[in-house]
Amino acid sequence: MKAAPLLSGIGLALMINLSAQAAGLSNERGAFGQTPDGQAVEKFTLKNSHGVEAVVITYGGILQSLKVPDKNGKLDDIVLGFDDVAGYVENGNVYFGATIGRFGNRLANGRFELDGTTYQVPQNDGNNALHGGPQGFDKRVWEARQADQDGRVGVELTYVSPDGEMGFPGTLTTRVTYSLDDDNTLRIQYHATTDKPTVLNLTNHSYFNLSGAGSPSILEQVATLHASRYTPVTEKLIPTGELPEVKGTPMDFLTPTAFGAHIRDDHPQLKFAEPEQGGFDFNWVLDTEGDVSKLAAEVHDPASGRRLLMYTTEPGVQLYTSNFLDGSIKGKGGKTYPHWSAFTLETQHFPDAPNQPDFASTRLNPGQTYTQTTLYRFPTP
């Protein structure tokens, strides 16, 4: 009997694409303008049979749009962002939807040490380096390819960061894959390798408002964080190194609690996050301990009925309540984004980990592969 020929790579890709289409999924590739220096920016529009639609652009590896139905089936875009590249370039310090690297969150004084050598990252947050410095991964144009799999449509983004970029050692190759399935789950998977010892802490910086981007407030939206401890910070927002329990503090979201319930409490940590009115901008220590099958966080919007469930392999999550938005930024569709009008759930290792010996290591060595998976699921209301 003559053996059946093996499927070629092209044939296999075609079968996967046809399988995705049969499941009501689609993946459309198109243009999204260009950067000021003339680099072309692409967009990938991922859709499923329930109307959920995620748009990813190659500038900054950004989740530009995420449309999810409410309890009446009405679709709304629930992430903040801009309609063109210029909006992201001109407002880069808010990081709407961006892939963050090399090091998400803060590094004290922009410095860290590896094997007796001190490395300096440019300071762009007072004395600190924030989100990889002023020209982090969120300011780069990534290479992209469609990455549909059986039951999911997706896009794989690749960026090669040269040795010494923003002060970090090692040539780092990073791949980030966004994919959408028909269960309304947006999956973000990260892989990275290096040719020299370095530090790495990747995350996504999407700002969510489950009532729709541009809605005036998230204070009535109800959050649950499966996190018994958090990492308190100094007035410069650098962790103290302690891991106290959240019980008895405004950081207690172990049971469903509206964002607005304690955001104005007279608590020093809230004042560190936003001196005038208070707010959340802290890392919570997840009880899930890297088990992606366990629910790490949930946010429910009683008004729209939308619900976000988050799962992750990471040990921590940064909840930030858009404390420094003030309505001056004009986003998609000309909508403005007021104070406390969005929240982030940035899955991560702990801030300033290279300078905190008791925190889990963020070191990556040659021969190792950094991996992370985070899921954002939106059950049908």
Q: Which residues are catalytic?
A: 205, 346
The answer to whether the CB of 360 falls within 8 A of the CB of 315 is: yes
Q: For the range 13-19, what are the long-range contacts, defined as Cβ-Cβ under 8 Å and sequence gap of 24 or more?
A: 13/148, 16/148, 16/149, 16/150, 17/148, 19/150, 19/151
Token representation of residue 64 = 């530009």
Instruction: Work out the burial of residue 351: count CB atoms within 10 Å of its CB; fewer than 13 is exposed, 13-18 middle, 19 or more buried.
Output: buried
> Can you tell me the distance from the alpha carbon of 165 to that of 171, in angstroms, rounded to the nearest whole number?
9
What Å distances lie between residue 371 and 3, 56, 279, 332, 374, CA to CA?
38, 20, 31, 32, 10
Neighbours of 169 (CB within 10 A): 19
